[in-house]
Structure 1
Amino acid sequence: MIKRLFQIALPIVMAWLMVMPLSAQGVAFGVKGGLEVVSMEFNDDVFDKSNRAGFFVGPTFVISTALPGLAIDISGLYNERTLRVEGESVQQKSILIPAHVRYGASIMDFGGVFLTAGPQLSFNVGPSKFYWEDVNKNAKQFLLQDTKLAIDFGVGLSIGQHLEAIVYYSIPIGKTGDFTWNKVSKAANEASSALNNTNTTANSWMLSATYIF
């Protein structure tokens, strides 16, 4: 399903990005970086939520439009985060391409506040398959999705002409990965022929700081 959504969303996002800058009043370049807190949610109730941290950094472009207060924020970010799956730490490395619309108001000469929302495409650039055994010799596998689509919502604060701070909440569309495991029979000391499977989504809070040149 996620692949189908990606195929539908990509041309829409690309067309939107091509049309909106036609009325642009200016383009500002900057560098964005920040921290991420990930909340893992499993479909199977036997698993507890697990929180882990990550970071992201990369260039960003802020494109102002003809409408006062309305702008577009497009970034290319390297993202590295750690997921916790059944006692195992899984490191995910991705390239994030968020494309957000923002709308806000200035606060005299201090800066301004704004709301922001939009899609985020994610491409996995690190390992996608992880295998291990627990202390009871149970075989386990976690498989990450290669591409993902998420929707971000956030609120931001600009300070002067060069600094911005934004807090996002990112909600993935579809699953983040599949977790498969089997249990070793203590009596026969052989792996069970039946595999167990569940999938997980990784919602996240992202706190970013941007310097606009």
Structure 2
Amino acid sequence: MKKVFILAFLALGMMFANMANAQGLKFGLKAGLNVTDIHLSSEVFDKTNRAGWFAGPTVKFSLPLLGLGVDAAALYDVRSAKVANTKLEERTIKQEQITIPVNLRYSIGLGSSANIFVFAGPQWGFNVGDKDFKWTNGSSYSLKKSNFSVNAGLGFTVLNHLQVSANYNVAFGKTADVKILDALSDAAGQIVGSKGKSRNNSWQIALAYYF
């Protein structure tokens, strides 16, 4: 876990070094909620009660072109969903990761201290939690070490410091494998397995304060 944190902050540090001459460079803190949408293709699972949260440092700066800017962050991100199998047994699948979103943004001023903006950009996630969720001895939900996704959203800034935003985060890779084994599939006791895939998409609502 320490290596992941170090790599994440080194990446941001290199980015900050390259932005030393940028206009309007501001550092801040960001936190918010995930409304996670975990799609499972396997019919024996049902998804309910999707939720999560994230928090961490953030930075933004303006580009020479009027209205354009870039923001980035290193966030501790937690997502979970309750799922039920065919026996109506319910468990919670939890994913913990460090995410690094980098967004290009376009702002429209609403006076000297407020603006609205739209943004979009890539996001990298690195798993720092459990690698496997065990349902029973015969099945598991394996989380990948890393994943790639894309953000798109809008927000507004007031008093030059407080920012509220909402975006949709779309996973571009499979974030997990669901392996379902049926030990009673034949009289000989042979185990027959099938594998399903999931995508971990989410709506995100965030509050940030820039110093």
- TM-score, structure 1 normalization: 0.82
Q: 65, 81, 90: which one pairs with 2:79? A: 81
Distance 1:180 1:107, change over 3 A: same
**Alpha-carbon distance in structure 1 between the residues aligned to 2:91 and 2:46:** 13
**Alpha-carbon distance in structure 1 between the residues aligned to 2:66 and 2:165:** 20
Structure 1 partner of 2:95 = 92
Letter in 1 for 2:175: T
**Alpha-carbon distance in structure 1 between the residues aligned to 2:123 and 2:78:** 15
In the TM superposition, residue 92 of structure 1 has moved relative to its aligned partner by 1.1
Structure 1 partner of 2:128 = 125
Q: Is the 8 A contact 1:182 1:191 kept in 2?
A: no
Letter in 2 for 1:157: F
Structure 2 partner of 1:3 = none
Distance 1:22 1:64, change over 3 A: same
Aligned pairs, number = 194
Letter in 1 for 2:172: I
**Are residue 159 (structure 1) and residue 158 (structure 2) matched?**
yes
Distance 1:191 1:106, change over 3 A: farther
Q: Is the 8 A contact 2:183 2:192 kept in 1?
A: no
In the TM superposition, residue 51 of structure 1 has moved relative to its aligned partner by 4.5
Structure 2 partner of 1:5 = none
Deviation per residue, 1:163-200 (Å, 9 max, x gap):
00010100001111000011232885x75421011010
SS of match in other structure, 1:117 = strand
SS of match in other structure, 2:52 = strand
Q: Is the 8 A contact 2:79 2:95 kept in 1?
A: yes
Letter in 1 for 2:140: Q
**Alpha-carbon distance in structure 1 between the residues aligned to 2:141 and 2:91:** 10
**Alpha-carbon distance in structure 1 between the residues aligned to 2:114 and 2:127:** 36
Deviation per residue, 1:113-172 (Å, 9 max, x gap):
000000000000111112122xxxx72210011100000001011111110001010000
1:16-165 alignment runs, 5 A limit: 21=19, 24-86=22-84, 87-109=90-112, 111-133=114-136, 139-165=138-164
SS of match in other structure, 2:182 = coil
Distance 1:192 1:50, change over 3 A: farther
Structure 2 partner of 1:173 = 172
**Alpha-carbon distance in structure 2 between the residues aligned to 1:45 and 1:185:** 18
**Are residue 202 (structure 1) and residue 200 (structure 2) matched?**
yes
SS of match in other structure, 1:72 = strand
**Alpha-carbon distance in structure 1 between the residues aligned to 2:200 and 2:142:** 13
- TM-score, structure 2 normalization: 0.83
Distance 1:195 1:169, change over 3 A: same
Distance 1:111 1:182, change over 3 A: same
**Alpha-carbon distance in structure 1 between the residues aligned to 2:66 and 2:47:** 42
The CA RMSD measured in Å over matched residues stands at 2.5
Distance 1:79 1:34, change over 3 A: same
Q: Is the 8 A contact 1:41 1:48 kept in 2?
A: no
**Where do 5+ consecutive residues of structure 2 fail to align?**
1-10, 85-89
Deviation per residue, 1:19-66 (Å, 9 max, x gap):
x84872131000000000101112234544444111100000001111
